[in-house]
Amino acid sequence: MKMKLLKVSILATMVAISSNVLAEESTSKAPGSGPNPFSDCGIGAALFPTVSWAAVTSNVIWDIGTTGLTSATASPETCSGKNIAAALFINDTYENLAEETAKGEGEHLTTLLNIFECGNNKQAVISTLRSDMGESLSSSAYDAKSHTEKASSYYDMAKSASRECSA
């Protein structure tokens, strides 16, 4: 478990560093041009945010580039590495995150806030996330949801709450 957290922390650091690189690259693109679905989006971009050839190779091997193409087409704003890293982390550690969110603290929750580059207002983000999670858990439909649906819902809550990071 500690090794998994270490790997995700390393990934979060790589994402933070690569966000600056990707931001610089995106400002040099022609107006109206979107992200490259094979190198800037999908699972490949999350795993290899600064190595384009590796991102492309990973996307093609993983699912023939479907996630990259879908994210670039339907929601190009999700093509940044931190959103993908957060989604993967939440899916892999949902049970821990749900428990730690209820407590208001924990290693997984801290790692998630670091992935979202949440240096400020962490307590406000946690408070919002706890409130949203409480509403989700009290829903009669919660128990019928699959793991993926629960993780996806948590991702939406965390992404929304993380807007308070820079407030």
- Give the confidence band of 53 by pLDDT, cuts at 50, 70, 90: confident
The 10s digit of each residue's pLDDT in 66-81 is 666 566 655 666 566 6
Q: Report the alpha-carbon distance of residue 76 to residue 164 in Å, rounded.
A: 22
Q: Report the alpha-carbon distance of residue 7 to residue 22 in Å, rounded.
A: 21
Range 77-106 average pLDDT: 83
Instruction: For residue 133, give every residue at least 6 positions away whose Cβ sits within 8 Å of its Cβ, in sequence order, or none.
Output: 98, 101, 102, 154, 157
**Higher-scoring residue by pLDDT: 147, 85:** 147
What percent of the chain lies above the pLDDT cut of 90?
A: 28
Q: Report the alpha-carbon distance of residue 111 to residue 101 in Å, rounded.
A: 12
User: What pTM was estimated for this model as a whole?
Assistant: 0.58
Q: Report the alpha-carbon distance of residue 18 to residue 24 in Å, rounded.
A: 10
